[in-house]
């Protein structure tokens, strides 16, 4: 596993935790289980459809899909600045989600 993969894993974990923790404390574990299933089905569906979309869109096109592919290629190539922005954004979202998570956890009755 290279640095690019490690950065992707850390970013994904931070974004997932920033989203799921407040929802878990607010709506409960059953909702989070269903949400997790739906998110993974969508993620793998998009990932498998990405090859078909890439084949349909030519490199001369100026659509948003081409720009998204170019950005993902720059991340895969390991551009340090793109990784720094992505990791900083994920870290800010994670820290920002901790505040509502703590408040929701304190209000919860056991």
Global pTM value: 0.51
Q: CB within 8 A of 81, min separation 6: which ones?
A: none
Rounded Cα gap, residues 52 and 34, in angstroms: 28
**Per this entry, what is the length of the chain?**
110
pLDDT at 71: 61
pLDDT digits (tens, 9 = 90+) for 78-103: 566 767 777 788 888 888 888 888 88
Q: Are 86 and 76 in contact (CB under 8 A)?
A: no
Alpha helices in 1-110 (DSSP H): 3-27, 29-56, 64-76, 80-107
């Amino acid at each position: 596993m290279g640095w690019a993969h490690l950065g992707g894993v850390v970013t994904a974990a931070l974004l997932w935790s920033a989203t799921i923790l407040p929802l878990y404390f607010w709506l409960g574990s059953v909702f989070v289980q269903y949400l997790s299933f739906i998110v993974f089905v969508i993620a793998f569906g998009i990932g498998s459809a990405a090859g078909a979309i890439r084949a349909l869109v030519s490199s001369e096109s100026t659509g948003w899909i081409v720009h998204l592919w170019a950005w993902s290629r720059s991340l895969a190539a390991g551009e340090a600045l793109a990784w720094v922005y992505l990791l900083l954004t994920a870290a800010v979202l994670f820290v920002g989600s901790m505040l509502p998570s703590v408040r929701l956890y304190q209000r919860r009755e056991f």
